[in-house]
Structure 1
Amino acid sequence: MPVSAAAVAAAARPGPASAWPSWARLKQASLTDREAALDRQWYERARPETLRAREAHDPVAKEFLDEQWGGPKRPYQPERPTDPAVQQRLRQDLAAARAAVEAERRRLEEAGLRAPSSREPAGFEERSTPAGEQEVPPTAKAAAGYEGTVAVARSDIPALAGELFTGGSPRALGSYDPAHAIRPPDDVVVPQAHGHAEQDLGQQLDARLARLTEAERAAARGHTVSIRVDQEVCSVCAAALGGGPRAGVLSRLSARHPELVFEVTADDVSTVYRIVGGRRVR
């Protein structure tokens, strides 16, 4: 099938030539304006990953994706990470980080500087499910008998190329600043809800992002910070991904860096949190 000259021109564009205030305005303009028509074709032909990277600062990208995936809540959006290769690397990073934690734990225990670990590898558990009582297999971490939680992060921000960030809960030898802005909701005072791996990692990321120069931050706009945790993200860390005083660690981190996309995944679950400006966009 022959390809039109307009389609070739749209495909050759690195992005829309103009900044449009809304998808509706662009569609209307495209009916009579050739440049607008080319911009519209660019959005319609762009890969979803490209548009997701733009939606933090491009209302047309956001509204186009909303339209494609069933509205603002996007019920029809496939729930999968943006880049499988990044996830594979994060899995490897997690394995290496956990190995380092366990090696250091053994060293501390052998030196008498830490009480011996008491957790044993977990087996199948009987749990009540919607389908009745079932034998549920343990998570990979529980099956290995690991204590605490570990999280890692990488980013495609040019200034952060090649940098690896690693966080852990106290039982995984992590540390955190309780007075830092990246923390659980204000009314959560239970000690066990503080110091999670996501909090340790989030504080590190916040500090590193704060050191970006103006030029580096401008170049970072629309890029992604990919986070992976070695167990399901807890409800405290994922609290109120719409903002407000009950906002948890992930929402607070994203709200402080609204020009970035934060994508959070975890071992043993398929949930993907994609967060922009403190709010979950998927």
Structure 2
Amino acid sequence: MLRGQKKILFVFVLGLFFLASCVSQLKESKSLYSKGSELSREYKMEMAYSAYQKAYEKACLQVKKKPSAQAYMMKGLSELELEMWDEAEESFLKAFDYGFEKGEEWAQNISLFSLALSMEEFGLKEPAADIYDYLLSKSKLRQVSMLSVMKYSEFAIEKALKEEQNERLKQLENLFKKAAQLTEKDLSCGFYHYLKSQVLSHMKRYRESFEEAVMARELGLPTLEIQRDNDNQIVFCFRTLKDELTAGDWKKFESVYLRWIKKWGWEGPESPDWKRS
């Protein structure tokens, strides 16, 4: 009898240990993923990639030990950050099978985005752009939506700049409307303001371009490269407006400009902090 009780107790303790281990793996995966997101916002991309890789590994262990909707969701999110498109699609479908309602839709979004990447790679830019255009407004998966905006805007601006003046302006206005609609949906997204700034600049509306670039910088941008390009846009607007504005308007603008760059720690009107020697 005593031996049987010990055996039951052993199995019970082993079960508790196994359960705690599973909970721990999932918790660690979530924590590492959050850490990766934080590092990415700080533009520490190598460290962010490492955190996402570890989050992925923990999620893989979790789905092997105790598969669940949460485990597959974390696996899919980590794979998405690591650009493992096919694997992420499969993980979200698994998450859907385990009860995560958005899993199927997310998987479809990733499948479409992956298709667009392939089409672009093989020279079919226009059909790829159509897919990006669809996803930037329809995708509920933020990563896919954001990547699609980046891809589509790059294509649309390049295409517009090849056109004659009237057609160029028409296409730029259409792109600006799309960017404005995206901003209305999520005013806090720095990249949408960056896109508006870029388009406004090509439309020669430099004061508005400057204002959107300031918004973009304050809200944060997805990569260090984009942040620096945005800073260069701010400097470009400064130089252009200096030549275009009347003396009175320039004095007002310069006062505003100098307050902003002081806040950012720039060495001078045309010297962003990252250009320090």
TM-score, normalization by structure 1: 0.26
Rg larger for: 2
User: Higher helix fraction: Structure 1 or Structure 2?
Assistant: 2
